[in-house]
């Protein structure tokens, strides 16, 4: 019997007897820290992803503020925590992201799969890959030379041992042959999850999950075949697939959400940090490159990433006074960083404007952010985004402060705990901004 490995409240609203506006006010003061509590581990933890939500966070808002079959959106869905919780509660889940790995993760996790069948397919992928690898290594080597362009080849030669390259390529060749898209996505997810791990998985990198890879020349990575087999079996053992999921995934920019105006019942989202604190694609290219994305493709995606440091060719718009003051302070110390902060708040303005367009009247948008420190200056992200939202027309219900569970949420490595620093201590808190249209 499969157990739901959760420490959640019951699935019905605790406050359903109260009007919507009263429930919203209560959520403003709710304890959203969930320290030491488990989420639904089997589905959420298949693949590492920086700055994931604790599942209880979107769950609480979805449960209290929506009914079955209503639409819940996360326009920057990452590893799709909001969407999984929405589907578990029988809501309709919509998600956008520009990172191809996020799209892959979402399509794999949200599909309803047949566990026994996928296990059989995975075993035959593994057996065929192993057979090719054992019988004809030179054919696999030739295949690698044809599959990758020059730069990507340089990249895999630097970051992966020759033996690992052969094993990974033998596996990906078999996965690419699959006709069933659901099975292909799921096995790609397993494949990617043995590369992007805290230790750098089967690559020569360390600390990939924190997106700051370093080469560890002395590392002896485990066999990719063995890791794939282990990961597939352990994942499927506890996996609870979706039942009749009703979802839509869009590979699209959160500044241009492909949905009609006034069509969504609840948004729960968390944007990237300012100033490139987490460089998602720097880590994600370690697996994307095996799925046929060239390094150039990946750089193009990175240019549209909110929070990347580039601001050339982008619109820097007028913002509320507090934002302009902080941008001014940073500019005085470092002009470039000031301009990239201006770019971050300008892009976030466009995202908040777009969320305002798609959310229904009187409904709620929840934005979870932590503040970034640039050159010793606290950028007060939560206060700036609140000012921007109010200027656009949202009504601020409140800002709920939550403490980060350092053991669970992967944060940028440079945010080391320093109890003596007021700013550093604030970095271990997150702000849950609750807006109503
Ligand atoms: C903090 S993560 C979201 C994590 C998510 N809450 C979870 O639980 O996994 C932010 C996400 O924003 C995405 N993102 C960055 N720029 C974007 C853009 N212009 N449009 C849509 N998504 C974007 C990133 O790819 C990343 O997945």
Does residue 41 register a pLDDT over 80? no
Q: Which pLDDT does position 30 carry in this prediction?
A: 84
Higher pLDDT, 423 or 219: 219
Say if ligand 1 is within 6 A of residue 304 CB. yes
Q: Residue 5: is its pLDDT beyond 60?
A: no
3-state DSSP assignment of residue 262: coil
pLDDT of residue 427: 54
Tell me the percentage of the chain whose pLDDT exceeds 70: 89
Length of the chain: 437
In the DSSP assignment, the letter for residue 259 is S
Q: What is the pLDDT of residue 9?
A: 57
The answer to whether the CB of 44 falls within 8 A of the CB of 79 is: yes
Reference 269, options 434, 104, 393; nearest CA is 434
> How big is the CA angle at 433 (ends 106 and 24), to the nearest 5 degrees?
95
388 CA to centre of own chain: 24
Q: Please give the distance, rounded to the nearest whole angstrom, from the Cα atom of residue 18 to the centre of ligand 1.
A: 33
Q: pLDDT band at residue 34, thresholds of 50, 70 and 90?
A: confident
Is residue 257 lining ligand 1, measured as CB closer than 6 Å?
no
Chain segment 89-115, per-residue pLDDT in tens = 999 999 999 999 999 999 999 988 899
Question: What is the reported pLDDT for 232?
Answer: 94
The residue among 17, 97, 395, 92 whose CA lies nearest residue 265 is 92
- Residue 7 pLDDT more than 60? no
The answer to whether residue 10 scores a pLDDT higher than 80 is no
pLDDT at residue 211 is higher than 80: no
Ligand 1 atom with the smallest distance to the CA of 304 is 19
Which value, in Å, is the radius of gyration of the alpha carbons in the chain? 22
Long-range contacts of range 423-430, CB-CB < 8 Å, 24 or more positions apart? 423/373, 423/376, 423/378, 424/373, 426/371, 426/378, 427/370, 427/371, 427/373, 428/403, 428/404, 429/370, 429/401, 429/402, 429/403, 429/404, 430/368, 430/369, 430/370, 430/401, 430/402, 430/403, 430/404
Which residue in 88, 84, 75, 87 sits closest to 109, CA to CA? 84
pLDDT band, very low/low/confident/very high, at 74 (cuts 50, 70, 90): very high
Determine whether the shortest distance from the Cβ of 59 to ligand 1 is under 6 A.
no
51 touches ligand 1 (CB under 6 Å) = yes
For residue 203, with 0-12 CB atoms within 10 Å meaning exposed, 13-18 middle and 19 or more buried, which class applies? buried
* Percentage of residues of the chain with pLDDT beyond 90: 62
Pocket test for ligand 1, best of 97, 267, 343, 352 (most atoms within 8 A of CB): 97
Mean pLDDT of the chain: 87
Which amino acid residue places its CA nearest to atom 14 of ligand 1? 76
First-to-last C-alpha distance (Å) of the chain = 44
Among 44-58, 61-75, 300-314, name the most confident range.
61-75
Q: What is the pLDDT of residue 1?
A: 31
Q: How far is the CA of 186 from the centre of ligand 1 (A)?
A: 21
Distance from the alpha carbon of residue 255 to the mean position of ligand 1, in angstroms: 12
Q: How far is the CA of 168 from the centre of ligand 1 (A)?
A: 27
Ligand 1 neighbourhood includes 39 CB (under 6 angstroms): no
Domain boundary assignment for the chain: 24-99+255-271+306-436, 115-237
What is the structure's pLDDT at 100?
95
CATH class of 24-99+255-271+306-436: alpha beta
Q: Is 81 in the pocket of ligand 1 (CB under 6 A)?
A: yes
Dihedral sign, CA of 7, 24, 306, 258? positive
Task: Report the alpha-carbon distance of residue 202 to residue 168 in Å, rounded.
Answer: 9
CA of 305 to the centre of ligand 1 (A): 8
240-246 average pLDDT score: 84
Return the ligand 1 atom nearest residue 306 CA: 16
Best probe residue, ligand 1, of 77, 81, 300 (max atoms within 8 Å of C-beta): 77
Nearest atom, ligand 1, residue 271 CA = 10
By C-alpha distance, which of 343, 338, 265 is closest to 305? Answer: 343
pLDDT at 334: 93
């Amino acid at each position: 019997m499969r157990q739901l490995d959760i420490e959640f409240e019951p699935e019905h609203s605790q406050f359903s007897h109260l009007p919507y506006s009263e429930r919203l006010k209560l959520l403003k003061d709710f304890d959203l820290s969930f320290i030491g509590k488990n989420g639904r581990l089997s589905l959420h933890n298949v693949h590492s992803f920086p700055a994931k939500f604790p599942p209880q966070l979107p769950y609480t808002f979805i449960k209290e503020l929506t009914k079955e079959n209503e639409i819940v959106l996360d326009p920057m869905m990452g590893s799709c925590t909001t969407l999984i919780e929405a589907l578990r509660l029988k809501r309709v889940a919509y998600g956008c992201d520009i990172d191809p790995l996020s799209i892959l993760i979402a399509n794999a996790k949200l599909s309803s799969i047949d566990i026994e069948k996928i296990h059989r397919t995975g075993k035959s992928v593994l057996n065929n890959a192993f057979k090719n690898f054992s019988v004809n290594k030179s054919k696999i080597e030739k295949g690698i030379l044809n599959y990758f362009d020059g730069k990507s080849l340089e990249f895999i030669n630097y970051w992966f041992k020759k033996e690992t390259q052969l094993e990974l390529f033998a596996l990906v060749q078999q996965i690419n042959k699959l006709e069933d898209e659901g099975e292909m996505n799921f096995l790609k997810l397993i494949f990617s999850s043995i590369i992007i791990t805290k230790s750098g998985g089967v690559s020569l990198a360390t600390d990939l999950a924190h997106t700051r890879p370093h080469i560890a020349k002395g590392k002896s990575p485990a066999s990719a075949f063995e890791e794939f087999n282990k990961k597939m079996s352990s994942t499927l053992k506890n996996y609870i697939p979706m039942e009749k999921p009703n979802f839509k995934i869009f590979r699209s920019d959160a500044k241009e959400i492909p949905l009609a105006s006034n069509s969504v019942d609840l948004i729960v989202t968390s944007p990237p940090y300012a100033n490139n604190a987490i460089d998602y694609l720097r880590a994600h290219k370690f697996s994307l490159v095996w799925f046929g994305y060239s390094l150039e493709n990946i750089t193009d995606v990175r240019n549209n990433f909110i929070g990347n440091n580039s601001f050339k060719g982008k619109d820097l718009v007028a913002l509320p006074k507090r934002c302009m003051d902080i941008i001014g302070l940073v500019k005085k110390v470092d002009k470039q960083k000031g301009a990239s902060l201006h770019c971050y708040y300008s892009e976030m303005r466009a995202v908040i404007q777009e969320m305002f367009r798609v959310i229904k009247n009187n409904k709620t948008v929840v934005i979870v952010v932590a503040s970034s420190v640039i050159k010793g200056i606290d950028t007060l992200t939560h206060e700036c985004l609140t000012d921007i939202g109010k200027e656009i027309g949202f009504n601020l219900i409140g800002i709920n402060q939550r403490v980060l569970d350092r053991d669970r949420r992967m944060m940028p490595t440079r945010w080391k705990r320093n109890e003596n620093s007021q700013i550093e201590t604030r970095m271990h808190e997150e702000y849950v901004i609750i807006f109503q249209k």
